Amino acid sequence: MTATKTLPQCAHDAIESAINEASDEEPVVLWWDDGGYLRDIVRNTSHQLGCEFRASEQTPLELRAEAPRGQTVWYVPQASSDDVDWFKDVEHTGDVIEQHIGKLAARCFGNDRLQAATLRTAFEDAEVDETEERDERDKVADILGDGLDGEGGLPDLQSLQTRIVLDGHDDPVQFVLEHGTEGLPGDDDLIEIRDLLVDNGVAAVDGETDAQTIVERTRRWAVAEWLVDEGLDKSLLPQEYQPKSSSGFGVSRPELRSVLSKTERKQELARVYLDPDQRFWHDVLRTYDDPWELVDCPVDASLEHRLWDEWTQSFHAGDYEQCATQAEQRYERLDATYGDVPWTQLWEQAIGIATLASELETWEESGDTGDVVELYGDVEDGTWQIDNAVFNLIISGEPEAALPEEHPATAKLEDLRSSLVESRYLEYLTDLGDLVEDQIKADSPFVGENHAHQFFAEEQEHLQSGQSVALFIVDALRFDLAHELAESIRHELPQLEVDESKWVGTLPSDTEFGKAALTPGSKFSFNIELQDCELVPERNGRKITNHRRQTLLENDGWSYIMQDADDEVGWSNTRVAYYWNDIDETGEKELTDFEELFSDRIDAITRIICEKLRKGEWDRAYILSDHGFVSLPRHVDIDDLHPPSNAEKVTRRWVAGADLDDDAPGVLLDEDTHLGYLDDNARISILTDPIQRFRNQGLPDARFYHGGVLPQEFVLNFVTITQN
């Protein structure tokens, strides 16, 4: 039964009828409104009929304080009282209307007002509890007001009754799917809701009277509907759970998908519809031939577990490309449905696992002995991507810890992850070190490359041209992190052109030498030599200290700004060099979870750089680094080596002296290595094995270290940013 009029129309009829039936030519119509929910409707209607409108605020007696002039509607937001005779004259000369919103709503249904009286009863029987934030009568009044205001068309009686019973929800199926037994009525109202569910296609609840059973069967029906929508043959399901074909026009979608697309309780519902204790259709899904056909159905733990088991089988079979594609598909579906929940995090990590396995397999199968700088530092295809995949995998955490214990990943994922980031990654680092050593001994992998100590000379066309230039010099920005940073800037400032290029850092790749190399001057003026058993960097024959580095830059016209320095004046210069030291400090001080901290640091560096680029009109900006670093697996045994007796300078990763020979551990760097800056007397033996240290200062940096000759240390990613 559909309403025939709106509340404003019924109010108009009531007032108009009262005026016509009054004995006075300019009558007063008194409207008693129990609850006071019709005030706006009565006021607007009064004005439409040419009547003055007056409402009492505290007591009805206020209306007698001033005599009415012309047709007037007196409005009292309370129930009428027989205890006073203040309005006897109105009763005789005008008219009295006693209509609260429940009674007026019943009038909206014309000749069927007797049946519609259930609306009046629902309002009158609603509990009024002053201790509650909002009483039941308010809720019923809102439902009637919103449903019968005419803006959404004329509703049917069943829809209004359903909304009253279900606290404003007009779809019983979606209510049960989202809220379960919470909020379901009891007794006759529950039977009414059950019958509405049956009317909406949920045949499985027919005849049921227990709320929990009704909820379980409705949810099971909804999961079945979604599975069928994704391709499951509905004949595999019992008759009462087979969804009916839509007879309407347009695109239909499963009820549960509609619920999950609108609810603000996505994470809570993930625990309902992926709960291993539910397994809505386990008997069907456990034997289903190809569960990946149903990958876009994000409900039912049985499907989720089958997908994971199938995925791990494919992974162990070496189908890494397929694994990455499948994991991404499942991740995107779960993320779009539930957002950031453990199940979503699991599949996001699965993408990283498949990606890393593929990169490592490519390395293992290639047998590539090409130039190590090109091999590692190719921006598009370099093996730096293995470091990037390890980094992303580690910072993705341990999603299995938050999954239900019954999920198969809780028993397998840690071993799968650790086998990649520990044993296989360590093997890659060792092989890469061997390759570097072979190439240095054979000839040199450095000839013809851009070298960091030549930066100011190579880029002098831009640095000395009068353009505004900002240098962001980031300590220990490894190749893969520089790429992450470049990608972040591309995303934040798409109007800029962001280019990446490989440069060879200064060996040995400690901060002292790396930052000394990034100072103004001719490429021929930079030198590293052995002085009084100390290896020192020089420009034009003078040792470069921190103070000297600052002086060189400032004398060349640069503002020199350290991280966190409050130097807005310096940023007003057209040439600024800004130093960021967080990554190096993080790696050396926070050894437990430094990869996770690096992720935060990259975000912070992105914000700083983007802020400065937005504020200033820079023609060009560079992101440079002094060196990279090597990160080892969490569990690794370090070989503690004795340095050779003829070593004059000893660090954890390299030794220096004038008389070192090829018998020293690692690989020998001297004037024959063609670095272009080593003094004839300075010979450096630098380790290539990632798990070796010289006995010097103990082993505090068991995972994060500098000074080796692995490409992670000396192949740098310099980022150039220009206006398009």
Q: For the segment 283-311, what is each residue's pLDDT rounded down to a tens digit?
A: 999 999 999 999 999 999 999 999 999 99
Phi, psi dihedral angles at 588 (to 5 degrees): -85, -25
**DSSP code, position 156:** B
| Pairwise pLDDT comparison (6 vs 568), residue with the higher score | 6
* Count of other CB atoms within 10 angstroms of residue 381: 10
Q: In angstroms, rounded to a whole number, what is the distance separating the alpha carbons of residues 162 and 37?
A: 21
Q: Give the 3-state secondary structure of residue 674.
A: coil
Q: How far is CA 517 from the centre of its chain?
A: 39
Mean pLDDT across 60-89: 85
Mean pLDDT of the chain: 89
Q: Give the 3-state secondary structure of residue 381.
A: coil
State pLDDT tens for residues 427-486: 999 999 999 999 998 877 888 899 999 999 999 999 987 789 999 999 889 999 999 999
Q: Give the 3-state secondary structure of residue 539.
A: strand
Q: In angstroms, rounded to a whole number, what is the distance separating the alpha carbons of residues 567 and 669?
A: 41
- Nearest alpha-carbon partner for 46 in 59, 62, 30: 30
Q: What is the pLDDT of residue 697?
A: 56
Q: Where does the pLDDT of residue 635 fall: very low under 50, low under 70, confident under 90, or very high at 90 and above?
A: confident
- Give this prediction's pTM: 0.81
pLDDT exceeds 70 at position 588: no
State pLDDT tens for residues 158-194: 888 888 888 778 789 999 999 999 888 888 889 988 9
What are the Cα distances from residue 689, in Å, to 356, 432, 441, 511, 686?
A: 22, 9, 15, 20, 9
Q: Where does the pLDDT of residue 150 fall: very low under 50, low under 70, confident under 90, or very high at 90 and above?
A: confident
pLDDT exceeds 90 at position 132: no
Angle at which helices 187-199 and 211-229 cross, to 10°:
20
What are the Cα distances from residue 677, in Å, to 302, 339, 534, 674?
A: 64, 54, 16, 8
Q: What is the pLDDT of residue 337?
A: 97
Q: Where does the pLDDT of residue 247 fall: very low under 50, low under 70, confident under 90, or very high at 90 and above?
A: very low
Q: What is the pLDDT of residue 129?
A: 64
b/e per residue, 654-667, with b = 16+ CB within 10 A? bbbbeebeeebbbb
Q: What is the pLDDT of residue 593?
A: 63
State pLDDT tens for residues 212-245: 999 999 999 999 999 999 999 999 999 999 988 7
Percent of the chain with pLDDT over 70: 93
Contact 439, 492 (CB under 8 A): no
Q: Record the tokens describing residue 108, joined without a space.
A: 């909206």
Q: In angstroms, rounded to a whole number, what is the distance separating the alpha carbons of residues 582 and 591?
A: 14
CA dihedral 109→113→119→123, nearest 10 degrees, is 120
Phi, psi dihedral angles at 676 (to 5 degrees): 90, 0
Of 386-390, 578-582, 691-695, highest mean pLDDT? 386-390
